[in-house]
Amino acid sequence: MTRRKGFWIVFVVVLLVAAAAGAYYYDSVYLPSLAPEEIPLQTAAVRRGQIVISASGVGTVIPAAEVDLGFQGSGLLTEVLVRVGDQVRAGDPLARLADTQARRAVISAQLQVLQAEEALTAGLDTDRAEQEAALAQANLAIAQLKLDDLLGWTPDERIVEQAQASLEAAEANYEAVTSRSAYDVTLSARISLEQAQQSLVDSQAAYDTAWEPARDWELYMTEPTSTSPDAREATGPSMSDRLESERASAERALQRAQQNLEIAQASYNLAWSGINDSDKLNAWNNVLNAQTALEAAQTGPDELETQSAQIQVLQAEISLTQAQAELESSTEQLELTLAQAELNLEIAQEDLEGTTLRAPMDGTVMAVSAQVGESVGGAALVTIADVNQPTLEIYLDETDLNNIGVGFEVEVVLDALPDDVFTGHVVQVDPGLVTISGVTGVRALAQLDPSSYAKPQALPIGANAAIDVIGGRAENALLVPVEALNEIAPGKYAVFVMDPTHDEPVFTLVEVGLMDYSFAEIISGVDLGDVVTTGIVETN
């Protein structure tokens, strides 16, 4: 509130100073300059009227848009479908080249696409890769199963018992050979042989049971099984794992039983052949072999055997990766071939379409520069222009740069139609000045309002015109002669208004709007009918 009060105080002070200065100017400068010659003071009344600020220039009618058209490629011109003056729509054909070769190229490209699609669908190049990938997958499964058996190995009590029995038999045989009679040795060897024979029978029965074909269905049961009835979730080995383990154990047990039988048979034969140093050595070897078999049954596979199985799994994984990569590469190659064929077809179709020259826009044919039978290529053949929207190219003197801008109103008088005045608006002002015949000017484009041009035919391209660019217009404005204005500061004006009571001029600040060479628009400060002084200049 205090700031606003201060503003008004300053304003009043400035107004009083201006009034005092005006009175001083009027008494000391203005009146004395008139007194010696006693020239009467001239006045004019404030009136209403129109004031227009304009800049004059010249212009030429040009198309709103114009394009020169020609074929991308070259060839024999077989058809010209338009003539000068024809109206065309966007997409209309204008001319055609011979297209036999282009049509053949499209048909060939279509066949290539069909072949590539059939090859991709049939997978001709992927059959071998798929088979190799499937084989690599199976080999990996076998190697992994063998490794799992080794890593998950547990002693088979029956095999351990059989190996223990074989060792005891071998030791007994050795004892008999070294310390007993031939009868005892024979009896012991016969007992061992019978045990070995029974062990082989048992092992064969267990092997037959494990490898019964009717149990092959268990190999497909790969889900974990429960280890106890009250287990919340299945964590035990699957039926497939159990069967594989059982079969492997049965196979090893059968092999050991066969070996033990051979050892027992040999011991038995030796018992009947007599006792000598060779018998003792053989008996001791049998003991060592039995010990080795028992140790193997109790300790399972050694580290070297496990590492070998791991290497086999790794090799199988590498083979599977390579097979899968080859399969993927084969598929990608087929897809790439199809994509290339489709691209070739697209190019061929574009080339065929390029044998027809089409209009890119609605317009009028302005020129046709080729005839049927000519070999053409690259050069413009047809010119199309939009003449339905009258457009003028305007040139003004560079001193009128401030009097033109986009959206400014224009008034146009064509040299060919001197009695008609057309209106329009500026739609473009070039950012740089142009020089024509040594004269620097401003170039702009203007479009005529359709309502101001009602003739049935379009304006002739190239017609010359006189142009007035309206920089400002004030209708029904308060006007005073420019001679009544007194500039007291840059952009600040005052007038002397005659006081009808005392017949004396009063210094009055005014706000000025538009101003031409004769009159000025007064926005505020005076009223209609007020009389202002113009010095010694007589005005109308």
pLDDT of residue 140: 78
pLDDT value, residue 375: 84
Q: How far apart are CA 387 and CA 199, in angstroms?
A: 112
- Amino acid 451: pLDDT: 78
The CA–CA distances, whole Å, from 404 to 173, 389, 414, 467, 517 equal 130, 21, 20, 12, 18
CA dist list (Å): 406 to 180, 392, 428, 514: 133, 14, 6, 19
Q: Are 516 and 474 in contact (CB under 8 A)?
A: no
pLDDT confidence bin for 497, thresholds 50/70/90: very high
Place of tokens 């057309």: 422
Residues 219/142, Cβ–Cβ less than 8 Å:
no
Percent of the chain residues past pLDDT 90, beyond the cut? 14
pLDDT at 289: 84
Contact (Cβ atoms closer than 8 angstroms) between residue 161 and residue 198: no
When pLDDT is averaged across residues 534-538 and rounded to a whole number, the result is: 68
pTM value > 0.85: no
Contact present, 157 and 298 (Cβ < 8 Å): no
pLDDT tens string 102-112? 889 889 988 98
| More confidently predicted of 9 and 537 | 537
Task: Find the length of the chain.
Answer: 540
Per-residue model confidence (pLDDT) at position 480: 92
pLDDT tens sequence across 309-360: 778 878 777 877 776 666 666 677 788 888 898 899 898 888 888 888 899 9
SS3 category, 409: strand
How do residues 218-244 score in pLDDT, each as one tens digit?
777 877 776 555 555 666 778 888 888
Residues contacting 433, CB < 8 A, separation 6+: 398, 440, 441, 442, 443
Choose between 178 and 117: higher pLDDT.
117
For residue range 279-289, what is the model confidence (pLDDT) as tens digits? 677 778 887 88
- Collapsed DSSP state (helix, strand, coil) of residue 415: coil
Q: What is the DSSP string of 468-522?
A: EEEEEEEEEEEEEEGGG-EEEETTEEEEEEEETTTTEEEEEEEEEEEE-SSEEEE
pLDDT bracket for residue 523 (50, 70, 90): very high
Confidence of residue 457 (pLDDT cuts 50, 70, 90): low
